[in-house]
Amino acid sequence: MKKVMPPPPAATCLTFHPQDDNRVAIGMDNSTIVIYNLHSDEVARKLEGHAKRVPCLLEHSECTSFFWC
């Protein structure tokens, strides 16, 4: 019998870091945020613990980090 795997979580939003275009934050429908380094092609950090899917991510040009809502 062949085992069927569930699909991976879908991205719900995406934003680039305000001061580093090599880093991107990706909000997921499984309530996680993945910080991805485009230069090294690796996940830099995975943020877990949100109650629901991440519907949006914000960046501010005067800040050095991401925000989520």
Per-residue HEC secondary structure of 9-69 comes to CCEEEEEECCCCCCEEEEEECCCCEEEEECCCCEEEEEECCCCCCCCCEEECCCCCCEEEC
Task: Check residue 46 and give its pLDDT.
Answer: 92
Structure tokens at 54: 């991440």
Cα radius of gyration rounded to whole Å, the chain: 14
First to last CA, the chain: 43
pLDDT tens digits, 8-52:
889 998 888 877 888 898 999 999 999 999 999 999 999 898 888
Q: Name the band, by pLDDT with cuts 50, 70 and 90, for residue 62.
A: low
Model's pTM, two decimal places?
A: 0.75
The amino acid occupying position 25 is A
